[in-house]
Amino acid sequence: MKKALPVLVWGASGQAEVVTDILGQSDTYQIKAYVDDVNISGTPQTFNGIPVVHNDFDIRELQKSGLNLAIIAVGNITARVSISKRLLKLGFKFINAIDHTSIISKRAKIGINNVIKPGVIIDPMVEIGNHTYVGAGVTIAHHSQIGNFVNIAGGSNISGHVVIEDKVHIGTGTVIKDRVLIGKESIIGAGAVVVTNIPPQSVAIGVPAKPTGKKSANK
């Protein structure tokens, strides 16, 4: 039997629970430690019975035992950007966490450090960058391009030939019409139906979705 590869999971809350479930579905990876550098005092020293570390010194100690793979389990896009830089600087390589109930075309391209939750359907010719979260039950139709550090919340339906640029947050249950482009760092409110292009850094809500005039903070 192949030995499970040790992995560091950055995060020790809700997203980390999801990633823990997904990685636990196979013998490929074994979680060696979680990182929580936010709730340092209140955090228990273990999460799901596995050690939680709080700083780069502790992480380097773990690296000495051969740990060099990581995945980020943090929903906030801005935090995910800075954590990814830290992990790369420390010399980590990223894995993906893809739930076994997802159906992903062999002709779709998926980068690294992505979390793909249960029941996702991804068509052929879809491209997903790196550090992107795809929520439960999301569908992404053929030829759509999803950028880096994107969140697509659960139950959203993305039609064909859609482009979602970097650091976009798509709210729960959003519907996106085919060939629409969503500009970088935008937020689409929960339940929106997007039928026209959305400019970068917009916050857009409603049916049909319209920018509110607010500037998004997804940097």
Ligand X SMILES: CC(C)(COP(=O)(O)OP(=O)(O)OC[C@H]1O[C@@H](n2cnc3c(N)ncnc32)[C@H](O)[C@@H]1OP(=O)(O)O)[C@@H](O)C(=O)NCCC(=O)NCCS
CA distances from 87 to 39, 40, 130, 169 (A): 19, 19, 14, 23
Selected range binding ligand X among 42-50, 105-113, 137-145, 184-192, rule: CB under 6 A:
184-192
Given candidates 7, 36, 203, 211, which one binds ligand X under the rule CB under 6 A?
Answer: 203
Nearer to ligand X, 69 or 190 (CB): 190
Q: Between 129 and 168, how does the x/- string for binding to ligand X read (CB under 6 A)? A: ------------------------x---------------
Nearest to 125 by CA among 103, 147, 110: 110
Q: Is 118 in the site for ligand X (CB under 6 A)?
A: no
Strand, helix or coil for residue 109: strand
Q: Which two tokens stand for residue 125?
A: 């010719």
Residue 156, phi then psi, degrees to nearest 5: -80, 150
CA distance 56 to 52: 12
Nearer to ligand X, 21 or 56 (CB): 21
CA distance 11 to 17: 9
CA distance 209 to 101: 31
Least CB distance to ligand X at residue 206 (A): 5
Q: Is 190 in the site for ligand X (CB under 6 A)?
A: yes
Least CB distance to ligand X at residue 77 (A): 11
Least CB distance to ligand X at residue 191 (A): 5
- Residues forming contacts to ligand X in the complex (CB under 6 A) are 153, 171-172, 187, 189-191, 203, 205-206
